[in-house]
């Protein structure tokens, strides 16, 4: 007795089950789910996988996304506690781990999250040996280094979401001050994704006009318009949002979506993300910090050699020292 | 002394406070518990604003004062109290009426020309409450209702057939909830899938505590039809007195045409006798509750 499906549909050829743009999100807290929904809304994946340890919430989140399938083009959404569901992912986004409590710095999370990376990275790599790993969990620069070490992957394949978000926040605030859309305001924040991040004031520009040529005091303490405060706001923004709503999710989710787009579509756009900086700016240790990187199908294929002025270089090195101080005591 | 902005940018036209073309307001915070909510409201706003580089919505605002909602084209109402243990549906609805009595006049005060989409549950009753409190014509008060149920239906049917949901057409009509009606010519598949639709909503709530993604996407789908003037047909909750022999002023889900003016037409589907009977039964159930509501 034939089923409705058999009566309705005549099969011509077996379905090709291999996904070409499979993305796995590890960790289904607010950040992981914000990444997931942003990726779905941008139609970046043909398969989206959620992985977490909380079985009920995992299934519930997967079902809720599946129920929205009519409204987007990602035809396969799956989930599981076992990493086998993530096999052959092009990108694995790691958001798992403890998050900042009110008033807590990102660096305070380090030991707890290193332990988590030790348990999740080996199966991720086993199941998707050719993937790019995008680390989001904080403190992201240190954890990207840890993930790189544990994974055994080339450094170009392990990318920290880093200052892509800081720079987005920076450009939003500059845009607000000038009455111009953020995409038309250019500005880079590099270094630690955190309190010691480095704003490159000399590069801040609109239509190629460097704001510093209009006001040489831009970004200094003697600047009457106090543009420096914008960078302070970027640093404080996470703390402030956490105080108000308990966590941040939307902006980081969109930022991750931005990076995924560049990688999957091989766009070779330049993003300030956390990468291995040994050998650059006089740094001698193995360390991950955000600098402008060209992102494409192979991950970080090139880095842009920015001319840092002496002050910026000093701040960048200070950022490096802050992280090295913590990294040197890590056991994993 | 010129500011940096003045050095950089030469205005060509006077900056007018122009009326936005596509302003959408989401009302998600009730009167009760405002204090905790204010912080959350500001936090959510900041978090969204910081994503602006990646979005094409240049202005994101949040406030507990409704004046910020002025001149909205569409207002989405998700506010409402949640059901207490062992609370009767009538009681839940009455408590929500009290919340809506505050919200709806505020909305109308600042956006007299808006279209209101009601999401809060029980949505069919609350859409009726909104219609009565707002005094708006019925084409501008819409219950999000079964747009989501039908999307779930399409998804589940597509899974069964191995196709994409957009190629499966199914309509879930009537009351948004347990007694909704699946209308589709492939009756056997429809009956089974419909049951899954009703159960799946409960299951998501049981597993993660609430649902949000699919309903959010569903509401965005409705807004798209209206703001882009698409005249697409969606199963949403509308005033059905006079249709299918229904005599009371109740809201039920039927296939409706949505465009820039709102809900401008109802599609006259040929329903089977048992489907019409189910609709009438739902209408009576809803009327039973509505007739006892106070202060409307």
Q: What is the pLDDT along chain A (332 residues), one digit of tens a residue?
A: 788 888 888 888 988 888 999 999 999 999 999 999 999 999 999 999 999 999 999 999 999 999 999 999 999 999 999 999 999 999 999 999 998 888 888 778 898 899 999 999 999 999 999 999 999 999 999 999 999 999 999 999 999 999 999 999 999 999 999 999 999 999 999 999 999 999 999 999 999 999 999 999 999 999 999 999 999 999 999 999 999 999 999 999 999 999 999 999 999 999 999 999 999 999 999 999 999 999 999 999 999 999 999 999 999 999 999 999 999 988 87
Residue B219 lies in a domain: yes
Residue A231 lies in a domain: yes
- Give CA–CA dist B187/A167, Å, rounded: 55
pLDDT at residue B32 greater than cutoff 60: no
Residue A169 lies in a domain: yes
Residue A261 lies in a domain: yes
CA distance B15 to chain A (A): 10
Residue B275 lies in a domain: yes
Asked if A261 and A156 sit in the same domain, the reply is: no
Asked if A151 and A173 sit in the same domain, the reply is: no
Exposed / middle / buried, residue B291 (Cβ in 10 Å: 0-12, 13-18, 19+): exposed
Give the count of alpha carbons within 13 A of B209, CB side only.
2
For residue B30, give the CATH number of its domain.
3.40.50.720
- Give CA–CA dist B142/B124, Å, rounded: 9
Enumerate the β-bridge partners of residue A293: A271, A303
What tokens does B47 get?
């978090």
* Residue labelled with tokens 């807290």: A29
Asked if B272 and B221 sit in the same domain, the reply is: yes
Asked if A183 and A152 sit in the same domain, the reply is: no
Determine whether the interchain pair B8/A61 forms a contact, defined as Cβ–Cβ distance below 8 Å.
no
Contacts of A171 in chain B (CB under 8 A): 53
Rounded to 10 degrees, the C-alpha dihedral A280/A236/A28/A65 comes to -110
Enumerate the β-bridge partners of residue A134: A93, A159
Residue B83 lies in a domain: no
* Boundary-marking domain end, from B143, B158, B183: B143
Asked if A34 and A170 sit in the same domain, the reply is: no
Give the active site residue among A67, A181, A186, A193: A193
Residue B230 lies in a domain: yes
- Give CA–CA dist A168/A240, Å, rounded: 17
Asked if B101 and B224 sit in the same domain, the reply is: no
Asked if B53 and B128 sit in the same domain, the reply is: yes
* Boundary-marking domain end, from A131, A160, A189: A160
Residue A10 lies in a domain: no
Contacts of A175 in chain B (CB under 8 A): 52
Q: Is the sign of the CA dihedral A114, A116, A121, A126 positive or negative? A: positive
B182-199 pLDDT, tens per residue? 887 555 566 778 889 988
Asked if A185 and A108 sit in the same domain, the reply is: no
Contacts of B8 in chain A (CB under 8 A): 178, 206, 209, 211, 214
Residue A126's alpha-carbon distances to A52, B1, B62, B145, in angstroms, are 17, 63, 46, 45
Among the ranges given (B51-60, B61-70, B77-86, B260-269), the one the predictor scored with the smallest mean pLDDT: B77-86
A114-140 pLDDT, tens per residue? 999 999 999 999 999 999 999 999 999
Among the ranges given (A17-21, A245-249, B54-58, B86-90), the one the predictor scored with the smallest mean pLDDT: B86-90
A73-118 pLDDT, tens per residue? 999 999 999 999 999 999 999 999 998 888 888 778 898 899 999 9
Asked if B167 and B286 sit in the same domain, the reply is: yes
Asked if A87 and A170 sit in the same domain, the reply is: no
Residue A280 lies in a domain: yes
Residue B12 lies in a domain: no
For A317, the domain range is: 163-329
* DSSP labels, A120-149: HHHHHHHH-TT-EEEE-SSSHHHHHHHHHH
For residue A219, give the CATH number of its domain.
3.90.110.10
Q: Is the sign of the CA dihedral A200, A206, A209, A214 positive or negative? A: negative
Contacts of B160 in chain A (CB under 8 A): 5
B11-23 pLDDT, tens per residue? 787 766 667 778 8
Are B210 and B201 contacting, i.e. CB atoms less than 8 angstroms apart? Answer: no
pLDDT at residue B29 greater than cutoff 50: no
Q: Which residues contact B182 (CB under 8 A, 6 or more apart)?
A: B153, B170, B171, B172, B190, B191, B193, B194, B197
Q: Is B148 on the interface with A (CB under 8 A)?
A: yes
Asked if A146 and A169 sit in the same domain, the reply is: no
Better pLDDT: B38 or B198: B198
* Boundary-marking domain end, from A103, A125, A160: A160
Other CB atoms within 10 A of residue A329 CB: 8
Question: What's residue B183's pLDDT?
Answer: 83
Q: Is the pTM of this model over 0.90?
A: yes
Determine whether the interchain pair B7/A215 forms a contact, defined as Cβ–Cβ distance below 8 Å.
yes
Question: What's residue B34's pLDDT?
Answer: 43
Q: In a mutagenesis test of the B interface, which of A1, A62, A68, A77 is the best target, namely the one with the most B β-carbons within 10 Å?
A: A68
Question: What's residue B185's pLDDT?
Answer: 58
* Boundary-marking domain end, from B143, B159, B182: B143
Question: What's residue A151's pLDDT?
Answer: 98
* Boundary-marking domain end, from A102, A130, A160: A160
Asked if B166 and B263 sit in the same domain, the reply is: yes
Question: What's residue B296's pLDDT?
Answer: 79
> Which of A37, A171, A246 is the closest to B213 by Cβ?
A37
Determine whether the interchain pair B43/A245 forms a contact, defined as Cβ–Cβ distance below 8 Å.
yes
For B265, the domain range is: 146-291
Asked if A184 and A105 sit in the same domain, the reply is: no
Asked if B102 and B150 sit in the same domain, the reply is: no
Q: In a mutagenesis test of the B interface, which of A30, A70, A216 is the best target, namely the one with the most B β-carbons within 10 Å?
A: A70
Are A128 and A94 contacting, i.e. CB atoms less than 8 angstroms apart? Answer: no
Asked if B132 and B151 sit in the same domain, the reply is: no
Contacts of B212 in chain A (CB under 8 A): 64
Q: How many domains does chain A have?
A: 2
Residue B9 lies in a domain: no
Q: Mind telling me the catalytic residues of B?
A: 176
Are A252 and A31 contacting, i.e. CB atoms less than 8 angstroms apart? Answer: yes
Asked if B33 and B109 sit in the same domain, the reply is: yes
pLDDT at residue B162 greater than cutoff 80: yes
Asked if B136 and B156 sit in the same domain, the reply is: no
Name the residue of chain A whose CA is nearest to B5's CA.
Answer: A178
Give the 3-state secondary structure of residue A22.
strand
Asked if A288 and A214 sit in the same domain, the reply is: yes
Burial of B220-243, coded b for 16+ CB within 10 Å and e otherwise, reads ebbbebbbeeeeebbbbbbbbeee
> Which of A8, A172, A227 is the closest to B52 by Cβ?
A172
Asked if A106 and A74 sit in the same domain, the reply is: yes
Asked if A126 and A206 sit in the same domain, the reply is: no
The arithmetic mean of pLDDT across residues B136-156, rounded, is 94
Residue A7 lies in a domain: no
Q: How many domains does chain B have?
A: 2
ipTM of this complex: 0.90
Asked if A186 and A131 sit in the same domain, the reply is: no
pLDDT at residue B36 greater than cutoff 60: no
Determine whether the interchain pair B155/A4 forms a contact, defined as Cβ–Cβ distance below 8 Å.
no
Asked if B45 and B123 sit in the same domain, the reply is: yes
For residue B259, give the CATH number of its domain.
3.90.110.10
Asked if B160 and B212 sit in the same domain, the reply is: yes
Question: What's residue B33's pLDDT?
Answer: 41
Asked if B266 and B229 sit in the same domain, the reply is: yes
Angle at A46 between CA A45 and CA A48, to 5 degrees: 65
Residue A5 lies in a domain: no
For residue A38, give the CATH number of its domain.
3.40.50.720
């Amino acid at each position: 007795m034939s089923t409705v499906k058999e009566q309705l549909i005549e099969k011509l050829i077996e379905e090709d089950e291999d996904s070409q743009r499979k993305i796995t999100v590890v960790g289904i807290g607010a950040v992981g789910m914000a990444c997931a929904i942003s990726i779905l809304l941008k139609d970046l994946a043909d398969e989206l996988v959620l992985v977490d340890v909380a079985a009920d919430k995992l299934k519930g989140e997967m079902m809720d996304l599946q129920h929205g399938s009519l409204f987007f083009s990602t035809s396969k959404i799956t989930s599981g506690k076992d990493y086998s569901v993530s096999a052959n992912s092009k990108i694995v986004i790691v958001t798992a781990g403890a998050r900042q409590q009110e008033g807590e710095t990102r660096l305070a999370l380090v030991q707890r999250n290193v332990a988590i990376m030790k348990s999740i990275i080996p199966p991720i790599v086993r199941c998707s040996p050719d993937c790019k790993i995008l680390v989001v969990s904080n403190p992201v620069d240190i954890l990207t280094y840890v993930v790189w070490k544990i994974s055994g992957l080339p450094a170009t394949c392990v990318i920290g979401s880093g200052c892509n978000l800081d720079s987005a926040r920076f450009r939003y605030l500059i845009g607000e001050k000038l009455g111009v859309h953020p995409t038309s305001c250019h500005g880079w924040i590099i270094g630690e994704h955190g309190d010691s991040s480095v704003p490159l004031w000399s590069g801040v520009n609109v239509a190629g006009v460097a704001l510093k040529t209009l006001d040489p005091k831009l970004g200094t303490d003697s600047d009457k318009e106090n543009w420096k405060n914008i960078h302070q706001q970027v640093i404080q923004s996470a703390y402030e949002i956490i105080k108000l709503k308990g966590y941040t999710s939307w902006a980081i989710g969109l930022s991750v979506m931005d990076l995924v787009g560049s990688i999957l579509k091989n766009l070779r756009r330049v993003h300030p993300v956390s990468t291995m900086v040994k050998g650059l700016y006089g740094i001698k240790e193995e360390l991950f910090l955000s600098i402008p990187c060209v992102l494409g199908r192979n991950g970080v294929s090139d880095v842009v050699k920015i001319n840092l002025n002496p002050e910026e270089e000093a701040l960048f090195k200070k950022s490096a020292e802050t992280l090295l101080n913590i990294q040197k005591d890590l056991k994993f | 002394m010129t500011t940096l902005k003045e050095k950089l940018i030469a205005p060509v036209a006077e900056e007018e406070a122009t009326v936005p073309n596509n302003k959408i307001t989401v009302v998600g915070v009730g009167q009760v518990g405002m204090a905790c909510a204010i912080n959350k409201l500001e936090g959510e706003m900041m978090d969204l604003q910081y994503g602006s580089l990646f979005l094409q919505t240049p202005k994101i605002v949040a406030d507990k004062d409704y004046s910020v909602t002025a001149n909205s084209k569409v207002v989405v109402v998700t506010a409402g109290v949640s059901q207490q243990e062992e609370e009767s549906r009538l009681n839940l609805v009455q408590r929500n009426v009290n919340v809506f009595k505050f919200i709806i006049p505020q909305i109308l005060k600042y956006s007299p020309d808006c279209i209101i989409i009601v999401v809060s549950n029980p949505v069919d009753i609350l859409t009726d409450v909104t219609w009565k409190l707002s005094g708006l014509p019925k084409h501008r008060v819409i219950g999000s209702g079964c747009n989501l149920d039908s999307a779930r239906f399409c998804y589940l049917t597509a899974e069964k057939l191995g196709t994409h949901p957009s190629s499966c057409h199914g309509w879930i009509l009537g009351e948004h909830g347990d007694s909704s009606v699946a209308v589709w010519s492939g009756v056997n598949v429809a009956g089974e899938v419909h049951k899954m639709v009703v159960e799946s909503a409960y299951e998501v709530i049981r597993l993660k505590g609430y649902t949000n993604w699919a309903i959010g996407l569903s509401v965005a789908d409705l807004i798209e039809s209206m703001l882009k003037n698409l005249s697409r047909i969606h199963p949403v909750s509308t005033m059905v007195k006079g249709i299918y022999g229904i005599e009371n002023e109740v809201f039920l889900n039927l296939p409706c045409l949505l465009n820039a003016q709102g809900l401008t037409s109802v599609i006259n589907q040929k329903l089977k006798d048992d489907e019409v009977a189910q609709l009438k039964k739902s209408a009576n159930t809803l009327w039973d509750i509505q007739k006892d509501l106070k202060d409307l």
